[in-house]
């Protein structure tokens, strides 16, 4: 299982149709995960299980501050 968290930059298995960027930023986490395209700014929400299935890799992992 890939470790990911809030504000991480990730790459999904399929590219976004805007073709401006292959990178997404995780902007909300819970039962659903919301990601934002870094190219055009479109937001998409997935159930956690679907997100994990479509996730290819974590590009930048942001460490949480305590």
In tens digits, what is the pLDDT along the chain, a chain of 66 residues? 678 999 999 999 988 888 878 899 999 999 999 999 998 999 999 999 999 999 999 998 887 655
* Any domain includes 46: yes
- Which pLDDT does position 65 carry in this prediction? 57
Sheet holding 32-37, edge to edge: 43-47, 32-37, 23-29, 9-12, 55-60
* Any domain includes 51: yes
* Any domain includes 33: yes
* Any domain includes 66: no
Q: How many domains does the chain have?
A: 1
> Is the entire prediction scored with pTM above 0.75?
yes
* Any domain includes 65: no
* Any domain includes 16: yes
Q: How far is C-alpha 34 from the chain's CA centre?
A: 7
The secondary structure of residue 2, as a DSSP letter, is -
- Which pLDDT does position 2 carry in this prediction? 72
- Which pLDDT does position 1 carry in this prediction? 63
């Amino acid at each position: 299982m890939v470790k990911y968290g809030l504000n991480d930059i990730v790459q999904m298995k399929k590219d976004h149709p805007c073709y401006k960027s292959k990178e997404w930023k995780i902007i909300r986490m819970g039962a659903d995960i919301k990601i934002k395209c870094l190219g055009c700014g479109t937001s998409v929400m997935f159930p956690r299980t679907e997100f994990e299935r479509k996730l290819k890799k974590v590009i930048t992992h942001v460490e949480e501050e305590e």
